[in-house]
A and B are shown apart, each in its own frame.
Chain A
Amino acid sequence: MSTTKLIPKAGAGQAASGRTGDKVFSGAALTAGALIVAVLFAVALFLIVQALPTFSAAAADITGGKGFFSYIFPIVVGTLIAATIALLIATPIGVAVALFISHYAPRSLARGLGYVVDLLAAIPSVVYGAWGASFLASNLKVPYQWLAENLGWIPIFGGPASGTGKTILTAGIVLAVMVLPIIASLTREIFLQAPMLHQEAALALGATRWEMIRMAVLPFARGGIISAVMLGLGRALGETMAVALVLSSGPLIASLIRSGNQTIAAEIALDFPEAFGLRMHELIAAGLVLFLITLAVNMVARWIINRHKEFSGAN
């Protein structure tokens, strides 16, 4: 209704309120966009500023007494171990789930099944943590003992197995469950975009469904799968609660089935609420390291996706 009032004004060429409205609105939109850029830089800036005292502190004052590097190194490795376990489990299953929904499930069911997998992503991480600590850990005690007895000669299964099941392997499995829906939903989108003509041509030439997928779908989706896995990696690296609740932490060890190891995110969550002084700066520095690692992983993943976007039309 009010638009009709505006028309004669604008038509008359007066410096109408509409023009200032335009300016204010576009200005606000631009400011919001700039704010996002500013926030990301602010995140980096404030973390760096608050982390600085750690780097100038005497090596003996840092936790562990040997300087920041020897403090951060074990938990960086612990973070990588947990994320690696998660990806080793979640990647094949996630890709297969995506394939199932895009190419195997009956059309009428596919959408509903997609929602079901997305439900996995909707469950809060603290609930996964509680589930992993109570249900999963106690059920994995026996398998861990078996592993320690029969495969104990492999360093990663070195005994004695944890009596509670709260190990880095359990944490990795919980992380895998949390990463799985990310990988599954991203790769599903890619699989659905695979050119239909190629698939139909393959089937028409007598290929079985699996041969069609191998020839016409997987090569097309390779870049998408890699970037989905990278995004999953970013999530697994930064995930806090699953590890904080599930893992009974300790120093860096090779065995995955003994209590030990720690990740950056869990270390921060466990210690930050009580931290003050240098310890607080130390944890913020650890957060900065985590931020930089995930930033690098995410940037590479996005770069692959964007490059893939340009190709996908031409395919």
Chain B
Amino acid sequence: MATLMTERKRSALTRGRLPRYTPYAIAVAAIIISAALLSLVGFNVFGWAVLSAVLFAAGNVTSAAIVEGRRKATDKFATSLVVGAFLVALLPLVSVIWTVLVNGVPGLMAPGFLTTSMNGVTGAVDNAAVKDGTPVLGGVYHALVGSVLITLWATIISVPVGLLTAIYLVEYSAGNRFSKVITFLVDVMTGIPSIVAGLFAAAFFAMILGPGTKTGFVAAVALSVLMIPVVVRSSEEMLKIVPNELREAAYALGVRKWRTIVKVVIPTAISGIASGVTLAIARVIGETAPLLVTAGFATSINMNVFAGWMSSLPTFIYTQIMTPTSPSNADPSTQRAWAAALLLIILVMLLNLGARLVARVFAPKTGR
């Protein structure tokens, strides 16, 4: 009697369920069928992958609908949609990186690309490069210098302001109304379009120093408007998670509040703050729009952020694409643009990686 009961239960549990190997079988079938279908119209790998995935999802849903019922089928349909959406979201990432790699590597490998500027590189040089096969001259040295200097000045402005604001919000404000206003405005500031930040800096310096003032420093101010809210947000989060016991222990020893903050709170949170700052730098180093309206387009090296136009990697890419050095032979300009794009992506990725590394290196020993 007992054995009969268990027999029945087991069968009741597995009844109406697809066997475990079903998805694998459907996957194999989908791959074969889609290959066969595509060979009729013309085979390509991308179409094959897409068609297989669609057939696999359809097969899964249909088999579930027939054997397992409507609810399970709906569940499988939703799963297919969600996984499919994720794969679709990866497509542009892969495509962008692939495009930049393929187009950028030859230019980046060109001798002198990193060590020369565009000074003296004219349309005639590019025409010669296309017609006679002479090497493509010109490089990004001036843009690289400009990017580094502008970002450096933006960091010099943003980090003290951002960090002090975060300290005010966490340590001093005690959640008063002014701090709520600041928090709200910082959130709103995060959403300022970058071009508007550029226009603000341009309008500001146009009123102080006369219209048409375009220097690296104006660009740095524009970038600071974008960078400060990011620094405030990340530093605030990091200061908030510093355990209160540490502060109380310092106060109990008679340490002044400001020394507690400088010697206890900030060192504890420094890993998070540093990684937040690095991420903020990574964000602004790729900004193009504010630099277009504030720094101008230089073709030669300018080490002075307070005078003269300055180039930067993003604006270099932009100008090389929009106004090629030689309008009749745009290929050398395109090559330089993609190489600069690759360089910029490498920089941003290194900064992102650096942020994680920094977070790990400076991580305090909290015992948690």
Contact = CB atoms under 8 A, between A and B. Distances in A.
Contacts of A124: 285-288, 314, 341, 344-345, 348
A96 interface: yes
Interface stretch (B14-22, B49-57, B76-84, B122-130): B76-84
Contacts of B292: 269, 272-273
Interface residues of A, number: 96
The list of the 9 closest CB pairs from A to B, nearest first, reads A238-B193, A124-B286, A96-B85, A32-B164, A25-B258, A298-B191, A29-B168, A240-B289, A208-B75
Which secondary structure characterizes the binding site on chain A? helix
Interface in A1-15: 2-3, 6-7, 10-11
B74 A96 contact: no
B207 to A, nearest CB: 7
Nearest to B171: A29
A2 B259 CA distance: 10
B265 to A, nearest CB: 12
Interface of B: 71-72, 74-75, 77-79, 81-86, 88-90, 92-93, 95-96, 99-100, 103, 160-165, 167-169, 171-173, 178-179, 181-182, 184-197, 199-200, 202-204, 206-207, 211-212, 225, 228-229, 232, 250, 253-259, 261-263, 282, 285-289, 292-293, 296-297, 314, 317-318, 321-322, 337-338, 341, 344-345, 348-349, 352
Contact of A240 (B84, B168, B194): B194
B99 A131 contact: yes
A276 B214 CA distance: 13
B288 A241 contact: yes
Given A127-B341, A290-B195, A211 B71 contact: yes
Given A18-B258, A50-B207, 7 more contacts: A18-B259, A94-B89, A124-B286, A130-B100, A213-B78, A234-B193, A240-B288
Interface string A98-126: 01110011000000010011011011111
A126 B318 contact: yes
A208 B293 contact: no
A278 to B, nearest CB: 12
Nearest to B344: A124
Contacts of A148: none
Interface in A256-296: 265, 268-269, 272-273, 276, 280, 283-284, 287, 290-291, 294-295
Contacts of B93: 116, 119-120, 123
B96 A209 contact: no
Contacts of B321: 130, 133, 245
B257 A22 contact: yes
Contacts of A19: 256
A308 interface: no
Given A47-B196, A130-B338, A37 B185 contact: yes
Nearest to B254: A7
A93 interface: yes
Contact of B345 (A3, A104, A123): A123
A3 B259 contact: yes
A131 B286 CA distance: 15
B165 A302 contact: no
Contact of A128 (B84, B90, B96): B96
Q: Which of A42, A231, A245, A273 has the most CB of B within 10 A?
A: A273
A180 interface: yes
A177 interface: yes
Contacts of A231: 191
Nearest to B85: A96
Nearest to A124: B286
A93 B167 contact: no
Given A29-B164, A37-B182, A49-B207, A276 B92 contact: no
Contacts of A306: 184
Given A3-B255, A43-B200, A127-B100, A37 B181 contact: yes
13 contacts: A22-B258, A33-B182, A39-B228, A50-B206, A123-B96, A126-B317, A128-B96, A177-B92, A269-B293, A273-B293, A273-B296, A294-B193, A298-B190
